[in-house]
Amino acid sequence: MTAYEQMVKYEIALDMGLLSLDDLREFLNAALREKDVPYIYTDVFLTLDKGQEEVINAIFYNLQGNYTADRQADNVVQRALIGVIRDKYHSGEIDKEKCVAFLHRLTDYSEGDWNLLAIDEYYKLNKSGYCSDADFEVRLNDIFAKAIQ
């Protein structure tokens, strides 16, 4: 994943409430220890104490002219975010409802990912008793499998 893709991942995750500024700070602290650090990491790091809106603006500003977001379904950023959701769900940090809400929110950032839209419907069917927990988990794990492609 390129530095620009990493920053798009954090921009979306911050906007969704999936990750926090502390998560981004931890990532940037590790990244800034490396040689030949991309400028975007340094610039974003310098805005961390100014709040989430400033951080998102810094990411957006640095992407201009350097990166065009891939809005196709199953892009590298979307797969990375699905991986974050999967990890948080499997660790118990988020419940099934929050997991589905995050997956559904990803559709705001990509085009035509019917699997992400469908999981919301499967969740509704599961809640109303028309879809078993096991069937729902199979569908959810199909989506999570995308993250490791």
CA distance 5 to 77: 6
pLDDT in tens, 114-143: 778 788 888 899 889 888 889 888 888 988
Residue % of the chain over a pLDDT of 70 = 93
In angstroms, rounded to a whole number, what is the distance separating the alpha carbons of residues 24 and 49?
12
Are 10 and 19 in contact by the 8 Å Cβ rule? The answer is yes
- Contact between 91 and 20 under an 8 Å Cβ cutoff? The reply is no
DSSP label at residue 112? -
Copy the structure tokens of residue 41. Answer: 């990491």
Task: Supply the pTM of this predicted model.
Answer: 0.86
